[in-house]
Structure 1
Amino acid sequence: MCGRVAVPERDLLLEAYNLKPTGREWVKDINVPPTGGVPVIANDSPGELDFMSWSLLPWYTKADPATGKPIHNISTFNARYDKLFESKLWKPLLGKNHCVVITDGYYEWEELDEWADEKKKKKKKQPHFIRAKNQDFTLLAGLYSPWINKVTGEVIKTCAVITHDAVEAWGKIHDRMPAFLTDEGSSIWLNKELSLEERLKVIQPKPEDFLESFKIDQVGNREEFEHVVFK
């Protein structure tokens, strides 16, 4: 599961991947939750850097007539790989609406053997920041879909990150992990000229040494983040 990510500065990504900006601007954010904005490259515009809402709104989502807000009560920020081919939500996007979500890394919480609250049977959790070891950025395979608000006429670009069962070495932290991409794999994942079979090969689980992790005390503490992660 991927439930918090760190987002790099826009100018760094524009320069690193030689992209044109589209959508709104943003600033570096070390603690982005689902429904927050994340930088994305979509396969319909692979030369552009977009900014999408991280929680996919299905096309059939209705808007509240009074507020104009989407009526959406299911979790769609992650898309399980094993459900992609059977889900009415994900299957129509395969081969058509692929994207790469660009991050500095993501967070997971490891459940410890110590009690945080024994009466409530609540265990202590150790936060970890996890990132790709030998890449400037941690690239996550995703699916995207624009949603049209029929009340306001607004078009909202939304996306989800694909997840797998965690490889053995990382399963002690969490039982699921994102589908990671290399720079080369990203080009394949975004290439609509290739078969879906070829594109799916590049989002299979990576070797255990693809990642590195850092124990942190508090998610969102910028001073600690800069000291521990980018020391």
Structure 2
Amino acid sequence: MCGRYSLICIDDLCGRFRLLDPTLGFRSHFNIAPGSTNPVIVAHERAEAVMMQWGLVPHWAKDITATHKPINARAESLEEKPMFRDLLKSKRCLVPASGFFEWKKEAGHKVPFYIHVKDDPIFSFAGLYDIWQNPAGTILQTYTIITTAANELVAPLHDRMPVILRQDDEIRWLSRDVIPAEEINRILAQYPAEGMEAYPHHFNTFQ
């Protein structure tokens, strides 16, 4: 799964994703938690960063206080879940990140490990988003991060990992075209373990 991630190279966001206004007032965060509001990249007339809340609220939800807000969506079952099926066709997004965390149990306590892509200070997770609106016109934009089976690097820490998009696939994923199932399966595959690095990160509190 992906329950915590970081976005710390915020100044590089514009060049990395060719954005006009990349920050929207967002500051670097080493520990992004579910429920927080963060930059997500979507395609309108062109790619742009939009602030969204992490934890998907479907547009058809009646009571958002009682609605399950998944922070992750399993790549293998996107087509089977009504919450994700239509979003896969028309509301795909990039979730910029610098790394993510998983915890490993050692000597009776959990040690956080920080995992990142070796040669890319900012990369993107594959995401889906939705837009909810109440009768009064209040709009809430939310997103979820797609996960897949862990590669050899992440597997000792967790059996799932976020889908890290290869740069060549980012434009395709962000497009508003319908993507054939076989191509989606290829895009949402594991990122190669040899292109990633993981190390324990000992800190007392999250920033």
Distance (whole Å) between structure 1 residues aligned to residue 59 and residue 172 of structure 2: 26
5+ long unaligned stretches in structure 1:
64-69, 116-123, 223-231
SS in 1 for 2:89: coil
User: Is the contact made by 1:99 and 1:144 (CA closer than 8 Å) also made in structure 2?
Assistant: yes
Q: Cα deviations across residues 94-137 of structure 1 (Å, max 9, x unaligned)?
A: 1211100001111111123x22xxxxxxxx11101111112121
Distance in 1 (CA, whole Å) between partners of 2:40 and 2:96 is 6
- Check if 1:170 corresponds to 2:164: no
Deviation of 1:33 (Å):
0.5
- Aligned twin of 1:184: 168
Q: 1:148: which partner in 2?
A: 133
Which stretches of structure 1, 4 residues or more, deviate above 4 A after TM superposition? 219-222
The change in CA–CA distance for 1:135 and 1:11 in structure 2 (over 3 A counts) is: closer
Q: 1-side partners of 2:56 and 2:28: how far apart? A: 22
Select between 37-46 and 131-140 the one with higher mean Cα deviation.
37-46
Q: Does 1:204 align with 2:200?
A: no
Kept after mapping to 2: 8 A contact 1:141/1:203: yes
Q: Give CA-to-partner distance per residue, 1:183-231, whole Å, 9 cap, x none.
A: 2211121123363333442221122112111211137555xxxxxxxxx
Q: 1:41: which partner in 2?
A: 41
- Alpha carbons 2:101, 2:113 under 8 Å: kept: yes
Alpha carbons 2:127, 2:146 under 8 Å: kept: yes
Aligned residues: 206
Cα RMSD (Å) of the superposition? 2.1
Structure 2, unmatched stretches of 5+, are none
Compute the displacement of 1:22 (Å).
7.4
Instruction: State the identity %.
Output: 28
Q: Is 1:94 aligned with 2:88?
A: yes
Specify the structure having the higher radius of gyration (Cα): 1
Tell me what 2:56 maps to: 56
